[in-house]
Amino acid sequence: MLGELALVVAPSLLPGWALATVLDGSSDRLRKGLLAPALGLLLMFGVSGALLAANIWSGWTLVLAMVGVNVLAYRTINVRHQEVTKWTRWQRLEAAMNGVDLEEINPALELEAEQQRLVRSARQLPLMALSGLLAMLALISPMMQSLPFGVDWVGFAMLAQQAAMAGDFTLSGANQGFWTYPPAFPSLAGWISLTTSADAGRAVFLLGHYSLFVLLLGLMGAMDRYGAGAQVMLAMGYSLALFAKVFDSGYPSVASQLGLVVGLLVLLRPSQDRHRHHTLGLVVAVFCVALVHPTGAMYLALLMLSHLVHGLQVEDEDTLALMRTMAYVVSGLVTLGMAVALLVFAPRLFDEAVFSEYGWQGGRPMLVYNGPLLVLGLWAGMALRRTLEGRILITWFASLWVLSLVHLIEGLRYIPVLSLMSYTLYSMALHAFHVPLAALVALWWSPSGRLTPVEGLEDWSPFRPPQALTAVMTVAVMLGAGAAGAVALTLRSHEELWAVSPGDLAVREALDGIEGVVFTENMHWGYVWNAPEGVLTTSIPSLGLVHIDNSEHPRASLAIYYNNLTYMRETGMNHALTSPLGSMQWELASSPYWEVLYTVDGATLWRHVPNGSAPSTTLQAANMDTCETCTERLDIWRDHRFRDPIGLGDTRPFSVEGTDDRLTLQPPTAAVEWCLVYEVVGEVNPWTLKSSGGTERPVYAMRTDPGFHRTCVNLENATTLEEVNLSWSSTSSSRWLNPLGLSGRDDVLLDHTGVRWHWYEWAIEQA
């Protein structure tokens, strides 16, 4: 893990340090140390994404580009003119912060330097250290797990692999076409994979969580300018939103929030304190963020608009001139973004309807994921309503909330720009409101926050929370962080939640040496991001906007269903790859034209048998009638399976660990082997199956590690095998917090460890 992260940290820190220095000349080493990782990663995203968009991306071009960026950053920091009159404003501010007495420094700059000295002296360093430790919780999951939860990461891994192998987003395998997706995140993950030989899925996992970590540090650095660096991290702890989005592997959406670090650093200030280099920094930030994900660019543009609205209320001519320049910049960026959306992306969505899967994002979803922080934010908004910073943040939040009203036109067709906006704002309750609310609460929470009263209210001061309340709020965040860490430690032993089973990963290693078309399932577990060169898979994820000139998967599926031997011969599709999470295995297992070549825990590599002489297998669903004490549970992948030839349904019998059970069986009379496909939920204690007769041995020890497994039993006389007893070595189960209970994919939140039964396979003796 550290080696892969070092590959991103090393070339991005110096540029990030230079950006922090230019955008905030009053920053010291602590603030720059917080800002540099976030700003450097944002710039590296922009460089990588721009190279891919220009169709000149490769591992070496990115290296050369980052070398050039680092040289420029070094010169920016270290080169000084001999004449003080040629110094930039940030250089003069930096000199003023260091105590240099220069006649050229104007009174406004001296006042800013004095305010920032007060901010530094009022820092609560122990609280800053605590906040930094809390931010490190973002790195726990990749330290403990090899792959993330959620399903989106599989598609990002496919794009990362394509970037690493082909240098573009052309469709993989036997398909022809291309993906249209913001290039920055997948291309940088592909560079990590290409340079370190790490698995593309692992590279996506590490980069996604590192993005969240540096985002938290960057927010601390940006808000430290206003005396609320520690408090913004604590305030972030009162919402699940971005943390839930990362848990669900929505990494580009979270990474695009890095632009908000620049926005908060530059725009939460009076207009006269913002200068040309700040505007240039905002333009660069918008450009880089747009290459990561359009949501971040929209949010940053709305923050710029909020700053503009309140800046135009002043009457000073110099300030109005600055605001006019800012208005031109914002108008230009918005116009450019709309032009790209209308001319490039929207036409491809002409037949798509406005989309709102989660309903009103500004309603119940916002309350679910941001509830406690929203309550604090409303109180903070009332307390800070007479400050410039408070009004900017309130306006920003309100404008984001208005965007959520796109759900009112759900289903409307033939207006491509609205469809595009709805897809862009997908799950915005998880990533739109978290940062604005946290910044607002942080300014109110901090006892040393430096705020600007609106004109005419210079003697007014906001109400701050009493010290006792502050202590209680801090302790609550710490307890919540401890609980989150405990949940993360528990979930590391629940690989059954993965969208790809460990068996799937193991079976893919058997693809080495195979060439030609390999059938793969058109679902998350079937998207092979690490296929060896020469293997042409049939399935591709639907990610972003997909342009398909030729898709082989529908024809390959029909060929398997109807045993189209001509298709197999013409395309050379002699192998198929199935997962225990999927449904195609049931078709192949019962077909005489496919035989098992290699299998691990239910994941199977199949070989085509043209003459139809493959061994025959009979499948039976494990249902509630086959066990005595099991409970009925939802199949968590029920919405991702589209065929059910053996009648499994949407539920599965579940045996709780510690509760002995008895399975009733009805084997075919000619069966010579019985294979159970089951799923262990969490790490369980040893358990066994004891047969009543008919098996080669009376007792069989079963697998205890989490995930899908396939255990086979040789039969001596199938007619005498009527029941099997399940015995546990433990008398109770372990309890765990099941995150799928929150999402609706499962029906239990506080869950038990145990075994979920799926189906039985009976190998029939050949005549």
**Domains of the chain, CATH where assigned:** 2-79+123-491 (no CATH), 500-614 (no CATH), 619-764 (2.60.120)
177, 550 in Cβ contact below 8 A? yes
The pLDDT, as a whole number, for residue 655 is: 93
Assigned token pair, 536: 């042409």
Assigned token pair, 279: 């505007």
What does the alpha-carbon distance between residue 392 and residue 311 come to, in Å, rounded to a whole number? 9
What does the alpha-carbon distance between residue 472 and residue 522 come to, in Å, rounded to a whole number? 50
The pLDDT, as a whole number, for residue 420 is: 76
SS3 211: helix
Average pLDDT over residues 683-690: 92
Query: Based on C-alpha coordinates, what's the Rg of the chain?
Result: 29
**Which conformational region is residue 99 in: left (phi greater than 0), alpha (psi within -120 to 50 degrees), or beta?**
left
pLDDT beyond 70 at 455: no
User: Going by C-beta distance under 8 Å and a sequence separation of 6 or more, which residues neighbour residue 282?
Assistant: 262, 263, 266, 267, 300, 304, 329
Lowest mean pLDDT among 89-103, 273-287, 536-550, 582-596: 89-103
**Rounded-to-10 torsion of CA 261, 265, 268, 271:** -130
Average pLDDT over residues 514-527: 92
Q: How confident is the model at residue 113 (pLDDT cuts 50, 70, 90)?
A: confident
Question: Mutual orientation of helices 229-236 and 125-135 as an angle, nearest 10°?
Answer: 40
pLDDT beyond 80 at 733: yes
The pLDDT, as a whole number, for residue 505 is: 92
Average pLDDT over residues 564-585: 91
Chain centre distance of CA 339: 28
Q: Which residue has the higher pLDDT, 317 or 72?
A: 72
Average pLDDT over residues 48-55: 93
Q: Which residue has the higher pLDDT, 461 or 268?
A: 268
Q: How confident is the model at residue 377 (pLDDT cuts 50, 70, 90)?
A: very high
Instruction: Read off the DSSP letter of residue 531.
Output: P
What does the alpha-carbon distance between residue 199 and residue 509 come to, in Å, rounded to a whole number? 12
635, 620 in Cβ contact below 8 A? no
The pLDDT, as a whole number, for residue 272 is: 65
Amino acid identity for residue 617 in this structure: T
User: Going by C-beta distance under 8 Å and a sequence separation of 6 or more, which residues neighbour residue 426?
Assistant: 355, 357, 358
What does the alpha-carbon distance between residue 129 and residue 481 come to, in Å, rounded to a whole number? 15
Give tens-digit pLDDT for 535-569.
999 999 988 888 888 888 999 999 998 889 899 88
What does the alpha-carbon distance between residue 126 and residue 323 come to, in Å, rounded to a whole number? 39
What does the alpha-carbon distance between residue 754 and residue 732 come to, in Å, rounded to a whole number? 10
Place of tokens 């009332």: 382
Question: Mutual orientation of helices 107-121 and 89-97 as an angle, nearest 10°?
Answer: 50
433, 240 in Cβ contact below 8 A? no
Beta bridge partners of 679: 708, 756
List, as one string, the DSSP characters of 159-183: HHHHHHHHSS-BPPTT-EEEEE--S
135, 217 in Cβ contact below 8 A? yes
Q: How confident is the model at residue 330 (pLDDT cuts 50, 70, 90)?
A: low
Q: How confident is the model at residue 174 (pLDDT cuts 50, 70, 90)?
A: confident
Assigned token pair, 541: 């994820």
User: Going by C-beta distance under 8 Å and a sequence separation of 6 or more, which residues neighbour residue 324?
Assistant: none
147, 500 in Cβ contact below 8 A? yes
167, 58 in Cβ contact below 8 A? yes
What does the alpha-carbon distance between residue 15 and residue 339 come to, in Å, rounded to a whole number? 30
pLDDT beyond 60 at 342: no
Average pLDDT over residues 26-43: 93
**In 3D, which of 425, 424, 42 has the Cα closest to residue 219?**
42
Q: Which helix (H) or strand (E) element contains residue 296? A: helix 294-311
List, as one string, the DSSP characters of 427-484: TGGGTTSHHHHHHHHHHHH-TT----BPTT-TT--PPPPPHHHHHHHHHHHHHHHHHH
Chain centre distance of CA 368: 19
Give tens-digit pLDDT for 628-657.
889 999 988 888 887 888 888 899 999 999
Assigned token pair, 242: 């971005």
pLDDT beyond 60 at 398: yes
What does the alpha-carbon distance between residue 543 and residue 185 come to, in Å, rounded to a whole number? 13
Amino acid identity for residue 56 in this structure: I
pLDDT beyond 80 at 363: yes
Give tens-digit pLDDT for 234-274.
999 999 999 999 988 899 999 999 999 999 999 887 766 66
Rounded-to-5 percentages of helix, strand, coil across the chain = 55, 15, 30
List, as one string, the DSSP characters of 390-440: HHHHHHHHHHHHHHGGGGGGTT--S-HHHHHHHHHTTTGGGTTSHHHHHHH
Sign of CA pseudo-dihedral 321, 323, 327, 333:
positive
pLDDT beyond 90 at 721: no
pLDDT beyond 70 at 410: yes
The pLDDT, as a whole number, for residue 764 is: 84
Q: State the chain's mean pLDDT as an integer.
A: 86
Exposure class string for 155-175: b at 16+ Cβ within 10 A, else e: bbbbbbbbbbbebbbebbbbb
**In 3D, which of 659, 657, 665 has the Cα closest to residue 629?**
659
Lowest mean pLDDT among 385-389, 571-575, 738-742: 738-742
Residue 28 to residues 16, 17, 21, 331, Cα–Cα distance (Å): 14, 11, 9, 34
Average pLDDT over residues 443-452: 84
The pLDDT, as a whole number, for residue 720 is: 84
Q: How confident is the model at residue 719 (pLDDT cuts 50, 70, 90)?
A: confident
Give tens-digit pLDDT for 474-485.
999 999 988 888
What does the alpha-carbon distance between residue 320 and residue 181 come to, in Å, rounded to a whole number? 39
What does the alpha-carbon distance between residue 700 and residue 681 come to, in Å, rounded to a whole number? 19
What does the alpha-carbon distance between residue 46 and residue 12 come to, in Å, rounded to a whole number? 11
pLDDT beyond 80 at 322: no
Average pLDDT over residues 409-418: 74
The pLDDT, as a whole number, for residue 80 is: 66
Strands (DSSP E) along 167-270, which ranges? 176-180
Strands (DSSP E) along 101-161, which ranges? none
pLDDT beyond 60 at 83: no
How many H helices and E strands in the chain? 27, 19
What does the alpha-carbon distance between residue 763 and residue 673 come to, in Å, rounded to a whole number? 5
Assigned token pair, 406: 């796109």
A 10 A CB-CB count for 488 gives 16
What does the alpha-carbon distance between residue 653 and residue 627 come to, in Å, rounded to a whole number? 8
> pTM of the predicted model, to two decimals?
0.92
Q: How confident is the model at residue 615 (pLDDT cuts 50, 70, 90)?
A: confident
Lowest mean pLDDT among 14-23, 104-113, 149-158: 104-113
List, as one string, the DSSP characters of 597-641: EEEETTEEEEEE-TTS-PPPEEEEE--GGGBSS-EEEE-TTGGG-
User: Going by C-beta distance under 8 Å and a sequence separation of 6 or more, which residues neighbour residue 220?
Assistant: 34, 128, 131, 132, 135, 229, 230, 232, 233
